[in-house]
Amino acid sequence: MKAILTATGSTIFSVVLLTIYWIHVTYFKVDVVFYAAILDGFLAVIITGLIIWLYPIFNPLTNFEKSLLIVIWLMTGYGLAISVPTVIDRSLSFYILEKIQQRGGGVRQDAFERIFTQEYLKEHRLVDVRLTEQMESGTITIKSGCVVLTPKGKMIAEFSRSFRQNWLPKQRLLLGQYSDDLTDPFRNSSTNNDYACGH
């Protein structure tokens, strides 16, 4: 009986989550896809939690079991928010597959640099999307056309750089060769640039 009630509650959660998400992305303004999906998951947990606590049919479940279900649904909502809409929205890997499909199922390998620089950036409004996400996250501000790190942004950038250099694979497969290039992508960056600005 409890297994059936657990499965029923989880099914209700799934339906509620999908419904809320669809309504949200169809009829409401969304600032950042990831944050919107997280909010949808949280709302679905609240609604489903109220259902399992208020409807007598779920009384055979103990309060502890109901609490565990809520924790599971919270983790599920978070996992889905990251692994479905956010990944599809942000993923270069999905873009590559979609672009190959758009071009009839095959694209010359030597064309990808041009595709990324001339098509990907424009088609996905990548700069606008990423700057919006960072502003909404509180990691940057834009002042007089100059994008500036906030204290939070500086802290995250320092953590990210440290993690990249010390905890990413030193032997990563890149087109048939193992390399540590991505542990320090700035290694061969030009020191001359004309895009730095005062802050």
Same domain membership, residue 148 and residue 84: no
Q: Which residues make beta-bridge pairs with 150?
A: none
User: pLDDT tens digits for 129-138?
Assistant: 999 999 999 9
User: pLDDT tens digits for 116-127?
Assistant: 999 999 999 999
pLDDT of residue 71: 97
Does residue 193 carry a pLDDT above 80? no
User: What is residue 162's three-state secondary structure?
Assistant: helix
- The span from the CA of 160 to the CA of 88, in Å, is 23
72 to each of 3, 56, 116, 120, how far by Cα in Å?
15, 21, 39, 37
Same domain membership, residue 158 and residue 96: no
What spatial distance separates the first Cα and last Cα of the chain, rounded to whole Å?
A: 63
Which residue segment(s) compose the domain that 119 sits in?
92-137
Band of the pLDDT at 10, cuts 50, 70, 90? very high
Q: What is the mean pLDDT of residues 60-66?
A: 95
- The domain total for the chain is 3
Same domain membership, residue 73 and residue 106: no
pTM above 0.85, yes or no: no
